């Protein structure tokens, strides 16, 4: 279930550093509690063995909900991790959490949310989408039922997600950053949604960007960015990157079979 694919140490003059902090960053989970549980189990064992001081930092890169079967369970587990004193836990906002919040405020957005896997999230909270998904009026009672089913601690979790965390030479975001814009001036939309302009950039950013959002078959560890979204909801492979000093390692949980998204 657990694989450390590779590690690398680059020459000191080129290698980014966490300045001594042990950091784990988890890619897009999308409701795959069956993968998140084993991955966090292995991360916890690794952290205990490392005996790191200060305590390790665990960063979730967003997109906890939609597509996979247990969005609610994923958030429950992250909230549980936040109470465990052996880690400092930081959770970033993804574009799918933005969509969930938009639905809570604007029921007619439900039809669009469903096109991106929102039905799976509703079902995980015990709420059924309307039979006629194109009927704007049908979405208001569904939104009301969802708001009622949503535990207050979950709503607070979604509403208080962070946009960026920086550690040493690394910046952690959901999607990426806009080239040529200072990290402190990045727009929220870019942090949650950007793709091609960020992925195609060949220059360096202020820091090495650790991100999810754009799924790839294998994690992408380059000199300028670390992409760790391996499409867990479809591939059955959930990826994290372990950073300590100047070392980068990949950790993964793999299912025996993929679980298809709820349409």
What is the dihedral angle through the alpha carbons of 190, 191, 196, 199, rounded to the nearest 10 degrees?
A: 150
Laid out side by side, the sheet with 22-26 consists of 2-9, 247-254, 237-244, 22-26, 57-60, 88-91
Q: Which token pair is 64?
A: 């906890």
Least confident of 62-66, 81-85, 145-149: 81-85
pLDDT for position 134: 80
When pLDDT is cut at 50, 70 and 90, the band that residue 64 belongs to is very high
Three-state SS at 19: coil
Q: Which token pair is 235?
A: 């591939």
pLDDT value at 10 more than 70: no
Q: Which helix (H) or strand (E) holds 18?
A: none
CATH topology assigned to domain 16-98+143-254: Purple Acid Phosphatase; chain A, domain 2 (3.60.21)
**What's the length of the chain?**
263
When pLDDT is cut at 50, 70 and 90, the band that residue 260 belongs to is very low
Cβ atoms of 142 and 110 within 8 Å: the answer is yes
Cβ atoms of 234 and 217 within 8 Å: the answer is no
Each residue's pLDDT tens digit, 184-214: 999 999 999 999 999 999 999 999 999 999 9
pLDDT for position 132: 82
- Residue 233: name the closest of 27, 30, 1 by CA: 30
Q: Which token pair is 260?
A: 């298809």
Give the rounded percent of residues in the chain with a pLDDT score beyond 90. Answer: 86
The rounded mean pLDDT for the chain is: 92
pLDDT for position 9: 41
pLDDT for position 131: 86
CA–CA gap between residue 143 and residue 39 (Å, rounded): 32
For the segment 62-70, the average pLDDT, to the nearest whole number, is 98
pLDDT for position 14: 62
- Residue 213: name the closest of 60, 95, 83 by CA: 95
pLDDT value at 261 more than 70: no
pLDDT for position 35: 98
Strands (E), the chain: 2-9, 22-26, 57-60, 88-91, 165-167, 170-172, 208-211, 220-221, 225-227, 237-244, 247-254
CA distances from 8 to 50, 225, 227, 259 (A): 17, 15, 16, 32
Each residue's pLDDT tens digit, 123-138: 999 999 998 878 888 9
Q: Which token pair is 89?
A: 């836990």
The pTM of the full predicted model, rounded to 2 decimals, is 0.92
pLDDT for position 12: 40
When pLDDT is cut at 50, 70 and 90, the band that residue 1 belongs to is very low
pLDDT for position 257: 55
Q: Which token pair is 247?
A: 């070392």
pLDDT for position 210: 98
Instruction: Render 195-226 in DSSP notation, one character per residue.
Output: -HHHHT--S--SSEEEE-SS--SS-EE-SSEE
pLDDT for position 8: 43
Better pLDDT: 251 or 134: 251
- Residue 62: name the closest of 211, 248, 171, 178 by CA: 211
């Amino acid at each position: 279930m657990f694989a450390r694919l590779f590690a690398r140490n680059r020459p000191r003059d080129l290698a980014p550093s966490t300045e001594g902090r042990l950091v784990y960053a988890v890619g897009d989970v999308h409701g795959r509690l069956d993968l998140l549980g084993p991955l966090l189990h292995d991360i916890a064992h690794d952290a205990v063995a490392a005996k790191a001081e200060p305590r390790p930092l665990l960063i979730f890169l967003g997109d906890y909900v939609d597509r996979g079967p247990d969005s609610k369970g994923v958030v429950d587990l992250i909230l549980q991790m936040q109470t465990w004193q052996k880690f400092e836990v930081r959770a970033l906002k993804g574009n799918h959490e933005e969509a969930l919040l938009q639905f809570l405020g604007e029921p007619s957005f439900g039809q669009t949310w469903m096109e991106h896997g929102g039905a799976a999230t509703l079902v995980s909270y015990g709420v059924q989408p309307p039979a006629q998904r194109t009927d704007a009026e049908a979405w208001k009672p569904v939104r009301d039922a969802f708001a009622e089913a949503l535990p207050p601690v979950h709503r607070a979790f979604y509403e208080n997600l962070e946009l960026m965390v920086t550690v040493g030479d690394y910046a952690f975001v959901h999607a990426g950053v806009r080239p040529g814009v200072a990290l402190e001036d990045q727009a929220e939309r870019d942090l949650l949604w950007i793709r091609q302009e960020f992925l195609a950039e060949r220059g360096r950013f202020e820091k090495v960007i650790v991100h999810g959002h754009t799924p790839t078959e294998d994690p992408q560890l380059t000199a300028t960015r670390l992409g760790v979204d391996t499409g867990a909801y479809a591939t059955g492979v959930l990826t994290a990157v372990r950073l300590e000093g100047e070392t980068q390692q990949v950790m993964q949980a793999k299912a025996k079979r993929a679980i298809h998204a709820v349409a």
